Chains A and B, each alone.
Chain A
Amino acid sequence: MLEVRDLSKSFGGLKAVDRASLDVRQGEIVGLIGPNGAGKTTLFAAIAGFHVPDSGRVAFEGRDITGLPPHRICAAGMVRTFQITQPFAKISVRQNIMVGAYLHTADRRLAAREAEAVAQTVGMTDQLDQLGADLTVAGRKRLELARALATGPRLLLLDEVMAGLNPTEIVEIVGVIKGIRDAGITILLIEHVMQAVTSLAERVYVLNQGRMIAEGTPAAIADDPQVIEAYLGHGAAKVLRA
């Protein structure tokens, strides 16, 4: 469904993403993990059209979308959320979600109905009339999810939807994400927290210093010495094994 090949992106002299490749197949939940500053968000931004990659190729459902602007990619059926939540602060949650729903309908009533349906999916029905600015961190994360869902995507790119949430909230949002997948939407998610990924993703990619260093099931990844070293430092794998 999503095919990323040898994608590179630098900022000045810094290679944020260095020839990274990944595949997402229909119906999967795929995780993308890596230590801080590994280039996860940059890779996401390059996939979703926010950065034009220096080289490499991104294909979505067989169509080359490299370098297309974000709104075209969104219209094609792939939408991202932001790690740093970006609610439309001065309008209600309902209106926030309607902006997403307006992608495929110009009808106000229809958009409002869809917003309500999506709000139910992510568990925001009680907050529909709150202002975007008045939401808690957990509420904002849900709103990010809701707005993206309202655009009717087939592939959802989630950038750290669990960061900053407490354990109860994480359990809740994991349930929401599973529900979304069960509704037929494929998901690629970035997580900093390994634990969150293992409970969700069937396959995990590990990015370190811009390079893809491993790919596999969460269990296999957790045992991979390269991954352990990426997180804990050089020699850590040996220490752990001993």
Chain B
Amino acid sequence: MSRTALLCLAALAAALVYPLLVPNYLVNVGMLMLFTAFLGQSWNLAGGYAGQTSFGHVVFFGVGAYTSTILQVTYGWNPWLAWPIAMLAGGAVGWMIAVLSFRAGLRGSYFALITLAFAEVFRILANSVPFTRGGLGMLIKADQRPENFQFKDPIWIYYLALALCVISLLIAWQIARGRFGARLVAIRENEDAARALGIDVFAEKVKVLTLSGAMCAAGGTFYAQKYLYIDPSIAFGVDKSVEMLLVTMVGGAGTIFGPLIGSVALTVINEATRGLASVVPALKNVQPLSLVVYGVMLVLIVARLPDGLMGLFRRRPRHA
């Protein structure tokens, strides 16, 4: 077995045992870390592998969260059943945004800005249409039973996040090693050359954004079920978009483990700065301190480590 495979197994074993050994607070931190890695991976497929940087990925997250919540609250659906529908909705929105923007030939920063605009449009819509209950947000009735996608013991939601994270890694791995991934990378590196070599650039980009949207929407439902409340600024706010982009860039865009590594790094920083702020009185007013550190870190990474933290581990390209 290769060294990477062994490392993966060891990490998985550690992740499985971890919640049994730590207090609930840290189980929660771990859960959020894995969940953010999952969302980051959905961003990574489109933004990292295919190079279609999105500033508004939260739009898929929000669509997923609202779809399952509306089905559940308004129409009495079981949330487990609503979950795949939410993914379909996220995929559909991904498909729509992709078709509209790539048909119009938007690339690079123009595509990034249009995704940001889409997220804002959805936020405003969610604020104003009746079936989302506007700015009041939607409350899911607490009923902590597993068949209701709600768990009394935080350990279960942790394991669910772990499962999502592992699945997202497997998806990324499967894509990265095959033809689809090779085509996405070709598109990222040079669209014209990709077209000359027989790649239907438009179709591949639509495909990846659809997949990415469906994945991210699955995260939206998960989030809604964990916190039992969503409103337009949670579901479509810029913060989540930035978070997905940040963990991936920090960890290494276009690498399988980038989002996970980035999420681990940012979680550690987040917890450390919070601890520091509570100890050092002078830092109390710098709130939140973690954002300052994130900012500095992003600058350093973009300037010094364009391949993210993964770039530290891997100097040479891996062979197929």
Residues of A within 8 A of B (CB): 48, 50, 69-71, 74-75, 79-82, 86-92, 94-95, 98-100, 102-103, 106, 108, 111-112, 129, 131-132, 147-148, 150-151
B194 contacts chain A at the CB level, 8 A cutoff: yes
A95 touches B317 (CB 8 A): yes
Name the contact of A69 in the complex, choosing from B177, B182, B195 (C-beta under 8 A). Answer: B195
* Interface residue total, chain B, C-beta cutoff 8 A: 24
Which chain B residues border A90 with CB–CB below 8 Å? 185, 189, 254, 317
Stretch from B91-99, B198-206, B266-274 contacting the other chain: B198-206
B319 contacts chain A at the CB level, 8 A cutoff: yes
A89 touches B198 (CB 8 A): no
Which chain A residues border B182 with CB–CB below 8 Å? 95, 98-99, 102, 111
B185 touches A86 (CB 8 A): no
Name the contact of B192 in the complex, choosing from A50, A75, A98, A129 (C-beta under 8 A). Answer: A50
Which chain A residues border B316 with CB–CB below 8 Å? 129
B80 to chain A, nearest CB (A): 33
- In the assembled complex, the Cα of A111 lies from the Cα of B197 at a distance in Å of 14
Rank and list the top 8 A-B pairs by shortest CB-CB distance, nearest first. Answer: A74-B198, A88-B189, A86-B193, A103-B198, A70-B195, A99-B186, A102-B179, A92-B317
Given contacts A89-B189, A100-B197, A111-B179, 4 further A-B contacts (CB under 8 A): A86-B196, A88-B189, A88-B193, A108-B178
- In the assembled complex, the Cα of A157 lies from the Cα of B197 at a distance in Å of 12
Name the contact of B197 in the complex, choosing from A50, A79, A89, A95 (C-beta under 8 A). Answer: A79
Which chain B residues border A99 with CB–CB below 8 Å? 182-183, 185-186, 194, 197, 199
Which chain B residues border A86 with CB–CB below 8 Å? 190, 192-193, 196
A95 touches B320 (CB 8 A): yes
Which chain B residues border A88 with CB–CB below 8 Å? 185-186, 189-190, 193
B319 touches A74 (CB 8 A): no
Which chain A residues border B196 with CB–CB below 8 Å? 48, 50, 70, 74, 79-82, 86, 148
A-B Cβ contacts below 8 A, count: 95
With A102-B179, A106-B178 already in contact, the answer to whether A91 and B185 are too (CB < 8 A) is: yes
B320 touches A151 (CB 8 A): no
B319 touches A92 (CB 8 A): yes
Which chain A residues border B186 with CB–CB below 8 Å? 88, 99
B307 to chain A, nearest CB (A): 8
A212 to chain B, nearest CB (A): 24
Which chain B residues border A91 with CB–CB below 8 Å? 185, 189, 317
In the complex formed, the residue of B with least CB distance to A75 is B198
Which chain A residues border B194 with CB–CB below 8 Å? 99
Name the contact of B201 in the complex, choosing from A71, A80, A108, A111 (C-beta under 8 A). Answer: A71
- In the assembled complex, the Cα of A122 lies from the Cα of B199 at a distance in Å of 23
- In the assembled complex, the Cα of A91 lies from the Cα of B186 at a distance in Å of 9
Which chain A residues border B319 with CB–CB below 8 Å? 92, 94, 129
Q: 16 A–B contact pairs at CB < 8 A?
A: A50-B192, A71-B198, A74-B196, A74-B197, A79-B196, A82-B193, A86-B196, A88-B190, A90-B317, A98-B182, A99-B199, A108-B177, A111-B179, A131-B317, A132-B189, A148-B197
Which chain A residues border B198 with CB–CB below 8 Å? 70-71, 74-75, 79, 100, 103, 151
A91 to chain B, nearest CB (A): 6
- In the assembled complex, the Cα of A100 lies from the Cα of B196 at a distance in Å of 9
- In the assembled complex, the Cα of A133 lies from the Cα of B274 at a distance in Å of 42
